[in-house]
Amino acid sequence: MDKTESNLEVTEETTELPALTAADRCDICGAQAFIRVVLATGDLVFCGHHGTANKDKLKPIAISWQDETSKLS
Ligand SMILES: [Zn+2]
């Protein structure tokens, strides 16, 4: 492989999380969840609205940010 090597070492390039289902409910308002945030302390799930509302706060500390808001359409 003579691909240019990246300086970034990616240990977990793909986190395999189960897709969110209708049974997953936003931790704040109880609407169907489309965003899962994996934190060191556990998972949180949010609807599209609250996921976006908390993104600035949680994204920097999230281990994984699973955004399925594209399913909303
Ligand atoms: Zn919500």
- What pLDDT is recorded for position 60? 97
> How close is the Cα of 67 to the center of ligand 1, in Å?
14
What is the C-alpha separation between 70 and 73, in angstroms, rounded?
6
What is the C-alpha separation between 73 and 13, in angstroms, rounded?
27
What is the C-alpha separation between 3 and 20, in angstroms, rounded?
35
Q: Are 46 and 28 in contact (CB under 8 A)?
A: yes
> How close is the Cα of 36 to the center of ligand 1, in Å?
12
> How close is the Cα of 6 to the center of ligand 1, in Å?
38
Domain ranges of the chain: 35-72
What is the C-alpha separation between 31 and 69, in angstroms, rounded?
13
> How close is the Cα of 32 to the center of ligand 1, in Å?
8
Separation of CA 63 from chain center: 8
- What pLDDT is recorded for position 17? 78
Q: Give this prediction's pTM.
A: 0.74
Query: Per-residue confidence of the chain (73 residues) as pLDDT tens digits?
Result: 666 555 555 555 555 778 999 999 999 999 999 999 999 999 999 999 999 999 999 999 999 999 999 987 6
- What pLDDT is recorded for position 23? 96
